[in-house]
C-alpha cells in the first residue's frame, strides 16, 4: 500500500488507537457490563452513581434540617458536594476536619467511608456512631458505608 506523504500519520494513528480502544473495552466496558470490576480505593461506579445514592439516602434521612457530611476521600466527597449544591448540607473531607471528636460536637453528622478502611473500622468502635446504610457498586466487594452520629 502506497500512502501519499502528507497522510503518513493516519496509519500510525490507527496502529496506536486500536490497541488503546481494545484495552479500554477489555478493562472497563466488559467488567462494568458483567459486574466483575476490581476493588480499589477510589472511584467505583454502579448502575446509579454510588455518590448519588449516598446523597439521596442522607438527604431523605436528614430531610430539611440540614446536616454535616464527613466524607473519607475526595473520590466520593467531590460528587457528593456536587449533588449537595443548594441543599442545607455541609460536605467536609474527614481527613482535614480535625477527626472524629471534632465532628461529634455538632448536630446531625453522617460519615461516608469505604467499607473496611481504617476510618470505617475506627467508627465501628465508637458507641455514639451507628451504621445506617451500605451502598454497593457493580462489584459486591466494593461498598460505601454511611454512619450516623447519634445525638
Question: Are 36 and 139 contacting, i.e. CB atoms less than 8 angstroms apart?
Answer: yes
| pLDDT for 10 beyond 90 | no
Write out pLDDT tens, residues 14-63.
899 999 999 988 877 787 777 665 555 455 566 678 889 999 999 998 86
Which strands make up the sheet holding 143-149, listed edge to edge? Answer: 89-93, 67-71, 109-114, 143-149, 129-136
pLDDT of residue 129: 83
| pLDDT for 67 beyond 80 | yes
Q: How far is CA 145 from CA 21, 70, 71, 142, in A?
A: 34, 12, 10, 10
| pLDDT greater at residue 58 or residue 108 | 58
Amino acid at each position: 500500500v502506497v500512502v501519499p506523504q502528507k497522510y503518513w500519520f493516519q496509519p500510525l494513528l490507527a496502529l496506536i488507537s486500536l490497541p488503546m480502544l481494545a484495552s479500554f473495552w477489555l478493562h472497563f466496558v466488559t467488567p462494568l457490563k458483567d459486574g466483575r470490576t476490581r476493588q480499589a480505593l477510589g472511584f467505583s461506579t454502579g448502575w446509579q452513581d454510588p455518590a448519588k445514592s449516598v446523597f439521596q439516602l442522607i438527604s431523605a434521612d436528614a430531610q430539611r434540617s440540614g446536616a454535616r457530611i464527613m466524607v473519607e476521600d475526595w473520590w466520593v466527597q467531590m460528587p457528593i458536594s456536587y449533588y449537595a449544591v443548594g441543599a442545607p448540607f455541609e460536605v467536609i473531607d474527614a481527613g482535614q476536619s480535625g477527626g472524629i471528636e471534632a465532628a461529634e460536637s455538632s448536630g446531625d453528622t453522617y460519615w461516608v467511608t469505604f467499607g473496611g478502611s481504617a476510618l470505617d473500622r475506627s467508627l465501628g468502635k465508637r458507641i455514639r456512631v451507628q451504621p445506617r446504610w451500605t451502598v454497593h457498586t457493580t462489584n459486591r466487594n466494593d461498598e460505601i458505608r454511611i454512619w450516623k452520629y447519634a445525638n
